[in-house]
């Protein structure tokens, strides 16, 4: 059976997308997802998403990490599937869709390549030593660091992600350095088990953790540079809860094709 796919990227976080509104892809298994995401034997991607019908919503986002496991929320994936929904004519310029962490609202620019995605509210931030631990739809570890440009993100991220505290459930490791008015961030992603060019729930976690770290409250906007481009996070913080969180940035169709299932 041949499957039509679309390849999208959001700040270099790249995904295979499949329109599954007709339910053609049933019970896609771990090996197939991992094969499609393989950069040598497949299409290549940090994850794979199915766009499905969901009563009461414009669509449902089903997300798998590149290792084939069903993942938790993916922020850049969420932005890319909004651009995909617009490409398919499922939505116009605003949407309400369902993902694994709940309801998301989003807005897309007229040109269709800039997406503002509302993320879940966050109340709990814990510490592990100097690092901040929080869940923005996916679990994140946020650590301030120096000389991030030359940091060994793979080996240091791998060691933290696989230490006894995090080994079983996994966690995404974000290293962050202050830069101009915002931050530079590099992320070792769970489920890809490697550094990616961007992580949307990761930069969101960084923006929130840095607001807490710097005792900033009110309506805040945090620009963040990642290896694959620039993202921005806007939110309200009253000192206890982060709300009205929006992750904003590019989402582009790269190519489309068919692949054997």
Q: How far is the CB of 214 from ligand LBFN2T5F (least distance, A)?
A: 23
Kind of pairing, strands 94-99 and 13-19?
Answer: unpaired
Q: Is 108 within 8 Å of 86 (Cβ atoms)? A: yes
User: According to CB under 6 A, which residues from 191 to 250 bind ligand LBFN2T5F?
Assistant: 191, 199-202
Nearer to ligand LBFN2T5F, 76 or 95 (CB): 76
Asked if 135 touches ligand LBFN2T5F (CB under 6 A), the answer is no
- Dihedral (C-alpha) 10, 204, 146, 179: value to the nearest 10 degrees? 80
Does 77 carry a binding-site annotation? no
Buried b vs exposed e over 91-118: b needs ≥16 C-beta within 10 Å? Answer: beeebebbbebeebebebeeebebbbbb
| Distance of alpha carbon 208 from alpha carbon 140, whole angstroms | 11
Q: Which of 71, 182, 228, 250 binds ligand LBFN2T5F (CB under 6 A)?
A: 71
**74 a catalytic residue:** yes
Report the distance separating Cα 97 and Cα 21, nearest Å: 14
Q: Which is nearer to ligand LBFN2T5F, 3 or 199 (CB)?
A: 199
Q: Per the structure block, which two tokens stand in for 71? A: 């993942």
**3-class SS of residue 80:** helix
Annotation-wise, does 201 bind a ligand? yes
**Is 190 within any annotated ligand binding site?**
yes
Q: Is 37 a catalytic residue?
A: no
Contact predicate 139/72, CB 8 Å: yes
Is 200 within any annotated ligand binding site? yes
**Does 182 engage in binding with ligand LBFN2T5F (CB under 6 A)?**
no
Q: What is the nearest approach in angstroms of ligand LBFN2T5F to the Cβ of residue 74?
A: 4
Our finding on whether 138 is near ligand LBFN2T5F (CB under 6 A) is yes
25 CB neighbour count, 10 Å cutoff? 16
Residue 95 touching ligand LBFN2T5F (CB under 6 A): no
Known binding residues for substrate: 13, 65, 75-76, 172, 189-190, 200-201
Binding site for ligand LBFN2T5F (CB under 6 A): 13, 46, 65, 71-72, 74-77, 138, 172, 189-191, 199-202
Please identify every residue annotated as catalytic. 74, 199
């Amino acid at each position: 059976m041949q499957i039509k796919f679309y390849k999208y990227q959001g700040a270099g976080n790249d995904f295979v997308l499949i329109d599954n509104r007709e339910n053609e892809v049933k019970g896609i298994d771990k090996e197939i997802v991992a094969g499609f995401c393989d950069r040598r034997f497949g299409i290549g991607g940090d994850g794979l998403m199915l766009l499905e019908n969901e009563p009461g919503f414009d669509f449902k986002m089903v997300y798998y990490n590149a290792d084939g496991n069903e993942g938790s929320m993916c922020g850049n994936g969420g932005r890319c599937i909004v651009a995909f929904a617009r490409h398919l004519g499922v939505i116009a310029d605003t949407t309400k869709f369902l993902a694994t962490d709940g309801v998301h609202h989003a807005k897309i620019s007229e040109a269709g390549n800039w997406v503002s995605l509302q993320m879940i509210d966050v109340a709990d931030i814990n510490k592990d030593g100097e690092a901040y631990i929080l869940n923005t739809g996916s679990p994140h570890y946020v650590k301030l660091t120096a000389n991030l440009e030359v940091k060994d993100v793979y080996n240091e991220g791998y060691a933290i992600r696989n230490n006894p505290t995090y080994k079983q459930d996994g966690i995404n490791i974000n290293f962050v350095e202050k830069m101009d008015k915002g931050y530079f961030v590099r992320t070792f992603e769970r489920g890809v088990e490697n550094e990616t060019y961007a992580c949307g729930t990761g930069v969101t976690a960084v923006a929130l953790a840095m607001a807490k770290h710097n005792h900033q409250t009110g309506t805040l906007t945090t620009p963040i540079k990642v290896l694959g481009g620039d993202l921005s996070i806007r939110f309200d913080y009253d000192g206890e809860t982060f709300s009205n969180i929006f992750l904003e940035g590019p989402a582009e169709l790269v190519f489309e094709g068919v692949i054997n299932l």
